[in-house]
Structure 1
Amino acid sequence: MLEEYQRFEAVTVEAEGAIRIVTMNRPDSLNAADADMHRELADVWGLVAADVDCRAVVLTGAGRAFSAGGDFPRMVATQQDQAIQDEVFDEARRTVLGMVELPQPLIAAVNGPAVGLGASLVSLCDLAVASEKAFLADPHLGVGLVPADGAALLWPMMIGLMRAKEYIFTGARIPATKALDLGLVNDVVAQDQVLPTAVDLARRLAEHPPRALRDTKRLMNLHATRALSGLLDQALACERASVNSPEHAALTRQMIDAAEARAALKVG
């Protein structure tokens, strides 16, 4: 089974006994999801679910970020090519359902900023350990997008509707300690202890009888799976409409221009 993970590059999978560590591996881009990472995030969960030797899973990011969210070139391509849109939204659906329906417990090791897609991935995990330097944020609305793939659907159940609206509508950062208070993460630790703490927690969970653990996870996820089954397709359709909007195209262009200007200043 382990050799099947070798085909992944933007998302790597390592085995530590019965634990699988899934790492988003684009550190130079703060683990923003380009085409390869987005596809591999959709593909990896089916392999993990079928891994009979895996008892618990940790999801983290390489480098100093968990995930900065979307990748600008991929965002532009998604706006311009309907075939790419088909791929992107199929992958988004498979990622959400693959994580929520994963038989093994899934722990986020939030080693740094978790923005947009990154925040959604944290919300789709069963448990989360965050660095004291980490924060969560969902800025979809700021770039003219409907947030559909996790946080906007699950945060109302996790922290209450009005509080969820506050953070989704404003895109404000949620520092790690605030996320702990809200119930978006389970623990906040020093930067160098995030992954060890998450792996230790995974090992403790892996000691439980596997059938009982998996059935308990399935039972406790019923609210989330029922909510997602009723809302996910509608949410993705809304986000797809927003991808095709002139305002999203204009805001994306502004962000790309600003990034290029900052890069030019550094070179100069």
Structure 2
Amino acid sequence: MSDHSKVFNYEIEGLSYTVTVYEEAGAFYADIQMTEGSMDVNAIYFGDDDSSGPSASLDGPLNMNGAKLDGENVQWDEAVALSDPGLGTEGSDKETYLTDGDTLTVSLDIDSLDEIDIFGIRATSATNDAGSIKGVSDDPEDPEDPEEASYEKVFFGEVFSDEGDPLGGTFILDEEPDPNPYSIPSLPEGTEPTFENYVNYFVSDEIGGEVSSLTSVVFYETDDDGDLSEVFRLDAPDGGFQDVDELLTAYDEATDGSSLTDESSESSDGQDLLAALTVDGSADTEVDAGEDFEEDDLEIV
């Protein structure tokens, strides 16, 4: 889902839902997700905060007559019919019938999210006392940005043994240990240990790493025993990473779960399954796996 989105909430006794309108690849959609109860979504209505002009409406049981916002009638710019009232022979399998946890995605014929400041749903077979709703929501919420994953150690690897052990490359720690007998590089003081910050430091003049030389990037976090252990690794594609942008794109895809593999950890935590980064492969720092290196130092969906 695109970062450009608006979220509308609606809640009454026995029924609640969330509508997220967003842009993706130049098209616009609304995700209607039930959070409590159930309903058959028969039509959607939406408009901007300019109440001038005629109001869009649908005939018969799909109308929103009488629906009000702050005691005033609503001027709708668009009305879209989705289904006729009644579950019919399909029953609960009807595409527009949503129960707790279900999501219905609807395509929107708009050119900008600015066209939607008010969102309405006409639904029947609902679990509120009236058995139907003419739901109106405004003041859309801006979704919170998801917290970026952080890592305690990252290995920008160029050479690995046949068993996958790091042989040549650059370890970077989130904080410099005291003492630091192996002079392992660490992020500058006060730097958040996020993927992007590790990458920026790796390719900086301080480290001099080259993305094109990377074979794989390995991420480490503290396990349940308090030891730093490998969580996952991101392998470079055939021909290697061409530049930082390609690396960042690979990481973004991995965080969506599309290309992630975890060969060393059984953890199911979402943070543990975020993926790797890439940087230049001309780093000068070589790590010998044989050294005594302590890991703990380092349409309905």
- State the TM-score bracket (shorter-chain normalisation): under 0.3
Structure with greater helix percent: 1
Structure with greater strand percent: 2
Per the normalisation by structure 2, the TM-score is 0.17
Asked which structure has the greater CA Rg, the reply is 2
